[in-house]
Amino acid sequence: MPAFHQLSRIAVGTAAAAFAAVMFNATPVWAQSSFVGDVNDPVTGWHCVTPFCDTIRMPRTDCMCQKLNPTEKSLSRLRLKCVPPRRDPQNACTLPRGFGG
């Protein structure tokens, strides 16, 4: 009888560990369904790189731009920090007219 109890304790412990591992590695449903990957930023119209569009890609340059004030809805007040790809010079990420900078 004691051997049976020991085996049942091991089985319960193993099942609990497996359940915890599955829950730890599972991506929340809201994170899976909120970002479809082909989304444009509503303020700039540029392609979003991250789910919350706080990093966007400048068209025709491949510059990655991070929004310094991501909740801003006005293009003229939006502040961006842009970084060019390694192959391009630093001035390749000049912001177009109308951007706040």
* Contacts of 51 by beta carbon, 8 Å cutoff, 6+ apart: 31, 34, 35
Q: What is the pLDDT of residues 63-81, one digit of tens each?
A: 999 999 999 999 999 999 9
CA distance 35 to 52: 8
The neighbour count for residue 80, using CB atoms within 10 Å, is 21
Kindly report the average pLDDT of the chain as a whole number.
76
In order of 4, 26, 67, 73, 88, the CA distances from 50 in angstroms are 52, 19, 11, 17, 22
| Domains in the chain: boundaries | 2-33, 40-101
| Higher per-residue pLDDT: 85 or 29 | 85
